[in-house]
Structure 1
Amino acid sequence: MMDNSVVYNTFFDHLRTSLSNETFAKLTLAKTIGNTQLLNIYVKPVKLKQELKLSLTYHFQTQDKVENYDIEEGIEVLKSYINNPFLSAILFTTQADIALKLNKKRVATIIESKPTFTQSVAQTHDQPKKRLIEADKANYLMHLGIVDEKGQVIKSMADKYRQINKYIEIIEGLVKNAAISKEDFQVIDMGSGKGYLTFALYDYLVNNLGINATVIGIELRKELVDLCNSIAQKCGFKNLHFVSERIENYKTEKIDLLIALHACDTATDDALYKGISAGAQLIVCAPCCHKQIRKQLHCSTELTPVLKHGIFEERQAEMLTDGLRSLLLESQGYKSKVFEFISNEHTRKNVMIVGSKMKDNKNQRTVKAQIDQLKLAYGIKEQQLETLLINNGFYNV
């Protein structure tokens, strides 16, 4: 019978070989014994300062921890976890799957099988991720300070570039699933700011999807409006315009897609109302600030003792505000969806609310009862979107 240490060395020789000939795909330690919070260890190669390292992700029940090691140091660390607490290690390469297993008597064996993966980590990393908005082909990104003159993303703007592409990815799916006309499609972006997302949206709708779209950005700060209109002219975006106006004062009879990203506090409600009253097919908003509800919050539920903490009260106000907005959209014949827009490592203001217009509106009474119940439980007397809908005859008290 082969000694376990010989088996271990053979297994990790396979690891060394897969790293050197770039056939490595994945390595996982699994099947624990004993009382341990550590569930798995996931291994991948990384280059740090041009030197190849082993990156170990320790997967615990409640968190993950990542440590990077030199190759040989990492192998010694992995060996220390074999049989304590892991009974299995599986190395996936493009040539074979190689499993190190210990039986009930703690005898180690190696089993080889056909490869699961056809591409190695190196091959996968060599293929750049396809972006809907390509940095070197969108000259407005240069004017907006996202890329340099060579079309390379500026390091400090990398998060913004990822956000732009994630946003367009979401909009693409919504537009393709909605019954919209490609001949006369009007988009109103309320609170367009410097226009990062507005420019990308116009570019994608017109130049990628072939939609005859008019996009109007509404922004109070005139200096930003002037800047964006200047860039739109330089880029030849003839149906992209920016207007200096307060959201609540802007008037239009036609909206097919209403966008409101990070409009502050009740400005989000003003924007949502504009979309509802114009019968927009799609409404997309990412709320910012929730002061109106927080000021009124008076909880009469089991949560009362914990809401004395400001951070919990703030989060509760956010959830209630956006929950009510979602329900109010449903009361007006929209199918609502709430999800995370981008990772909260970049910003906590990452909730997106989407409303898609449906053909009928049969559940207003049921939704109204849910809204009234929430308001009663949390002492909410007024919510801006509901007030606008009531005052303008869209919503019966």
Structure 2
Amino acid sequence: MEFQEMKQYLLEQILDKQLMTATISQPRVKSNEVKRVKLKPIELKNMYHIQLEYQYERILKHENIPLESFAQTLDELLEQFRQLHIDFIAEKVQVQLSKKNKVMWKSEKTEAAKAVNLSHNRKKNYLLDENTPYPFLIRLGVQTEEGKVKKQKYDKFKQINRFVEFIADALAYLPKDQPVRILDFGSGKSYLTFALYHYLKIEKGLDIRVTGLDLKKEVIEECAKIAQDLGYDQLEFLVGDINDYNDETAVDMVVTLHACDVATDMALARAVKWNASVILSVPCCQHELNTQLNAPGLDIMLKHGLVKERFAALATDSIRAEILNMVGYEAQLVEFIDMENTPKNILIRAYKTGRKTTPEQLENYQQFKQLLNAKPFLENELKDYL
């Protein structure tokens, strides 16, 4: 097959909407910063597009090309790369080009796929594709250099994707006309901090500034080094405590993961006082209510230490969500990851809506608090807002 014949065949298949996925690789010149390009069809505003994912050494960039404009794009790709792997609906094609564009062609007819998925998301529950190399996941040891998820890190990969889903759901609540300020308290090894930055900055192109805060100096230094190496210039890591962080007057999103006991409440209170639009919090150990519980009607249950501990944790998070509801948020308790992976699987998700508390809501809260003899730390922190 001659070069022009090959190009015309590929273009006809793509214009006929037969494309499922494609990977174009092997740059013709070593100085090309783009290592490979992945293609897939998507639907944007009810129009068919081809999405190009440019994979650089450290970052990914995306471009969406209307189908009618793709001929020029294909010409440019073939000028820059020598290898193509393409899945059409009923055919797999492999192309290898020589320096002088001699074509080595291999094709295999396949059983026609039922339909091409035009969803902008790569997979349900997987906004980060498990077969795509992400520089931050490689550096954090979740993926191999080839972009394959390591077997022992697959649960972490699922957790990261689940968190990115929550970030995607929150997009509608973030400001559109100004830089987005994000704080992550207790960022630790920062898997989720890096995922948040990647998704919002690189995939969605938002103007963001993210700060990860943690008490472990050596961990913070390592995370700062990774951010610098990846070119994440709007992501910083600082050593510090939630109580001592007073550098902000307004924040758009507050993330707090596994802050122990009332440290979670401190972070939630800070978020409310900053008028944060989005709060995402995964609590850790909850001891406060466990020591306060005095509910004779629940003695049959609470006499068991294990049950009491779990009940206190669930009740604590329910109180936290209700307090957030009463100070102008829409708060929910949602499953973060499967219970089989960790019992710390509840995430408090709250969006600022400004809705008002009803008398019935306030009465129900007071009754529940009195039933348990609870004196919530968060309520005291936010007494001026209730």
Report the TM-score when normalising by structure 1: 0.64
1:354 aligns with 2:349: yes
CA distance in 1, matches of 2:211, 2:365: 33
Quote the residue 2:211 is aligned against: 216
CA distance in 2, matches of 1:343, 1:119: 32
Task: Tell me how many residue pairs correspond in the alignment.
Answer: 265
CA distance in 2, matches of 1:149, 1:157: 14
- CA offsets 1:317-356 (integer angstroms, 9 cap, x no match): 0111001001100111001111111111111100111111
Alignment of 1:203-242 (within 5 A): 203-242=198-237
* Aligned partners of 2:174 and 2:180 also within 8 Å: no
SS at match of 2:210: strand
SS at match of 1:346: coil
CA distance in 2, matches of 1:282, 1:319: 22
Q: Which runs of 5+ in 1 are unaligned?
A: 1-117, 121-127
* Letter matched to residue 144 of structure 1: L
SS at match of 1:327: helix
Quote the residue 1:77 is aligned against: none
* Aligned partners of 1:262 and 1:287 also within 8 Å: yes
1:388 aligns with 2:381: yes
* Letter matched to residue 321 of structure 2: S
**262, 284, 292: which is aligned to 1:266?**
262
1:254 aligns with 2:250: yes
SS at match of 1:288: coil
Quote the residue 2:276 is aligned against: 280
CA drift of 1:149 comes to: 2.0
CA drift of 1:249 comes to: 1.5
* Letter matched to residue 186 of structure 1: R
1:376 aligns with 2:367: no
Identity of aligned residues (%): 35
**122, 133, 138: which is aligned to 2:134?**
138
CA distance in 1, matches of 2:364, 2:253: 27
C-alpha RMSD over aligned residues: 1.9
**290, 314, 324: which is aligned to 1:319?**
314
SS at match of 1:137: coil
User: 1:289/1:368 Cα in 2 relative to 1: closer, same or farther (>3 Å)?
Assistant: same
CA drift of 1:182 comes to: 5.3
SS at match of 1:264: coil
**184, 188, 192: which is aligned to 1:193?**
188
SS at match of 2:175: coil
CA drift of 1:143 comes to: 1.6
SS at match of 2:381: helix
* Aligned partners of 1:286 and 1:353 also within 8 Å: yes
CA distance in 2, matches of 1:318, 1:359: 27
SS at match of 2:127: coil
User: 1:362/1:324 Cα in 2 relative to 1: closer, same or farther (>3 Å)?
Assistant: closer
1:184 aligns with 2:179: yes
Q: Which runs of 4+ in 1 moved over 4 A?
A: none
Quote the residue 2:169 is aligned against: 173
* Aligned partners of 2:133 and 2:146 also within 8 Å: no
* Letter matched to residue 377 of structure 2: Q
CA drift of 1:119 comes to: 6.7
CA drift of 1:179 comes to: 5.1
SS at match of 1:254: coil
CA drift of 1:266 comes to: 0.8
* Aligned partners of 2:325 and 2:357 also within 8 Å: no
* Letter matched to residue 376 of structure 2: Q
* Aligned partners of 1:283 and 1:356 also within 8 Å: yes
Q: Which of the pair has more CA radius of gyration?
A: 1
CA distance in 2, matches of 1:310, 1:358: 38
Quote the residue 1:367 is aligned against: 361
CA drift of 1:219 comes to: 0.7
**130, 146, 149: which is aligned to 1:150?**
146
- CA offsets 1:149-179 (integer angstroms, 9 cap, x no match): 222212111100111011101210122x325
Q: Which runs of 5+ in 2 are unaligned?
A: 1-111, 115-121
SS at match of 1:237: coil
- CA offsets 1:172-209 (integer angstroms, 9 cap, x no match): 0122x325225310111111110000001001001111
CA distance in 2, matches of 1:138, 1:182: 28
- CA offsets 1:52-79 (integer angstroms, 9 cap, x no match): xxxxxxxxxxxxxxxxxxxxxxxxxxxx
Alignment of 1:105-144 (within 5 A): 129=123, 131-134=126-129, 136-144=132-140
Report the TM-score when normalising by structure 2: 0.65
* Aligned partners of 2:330 and 2:350 also within 8 Å: yes
SS at match of 2:269: helix
CA drift of 1:362 comes to: 4.1
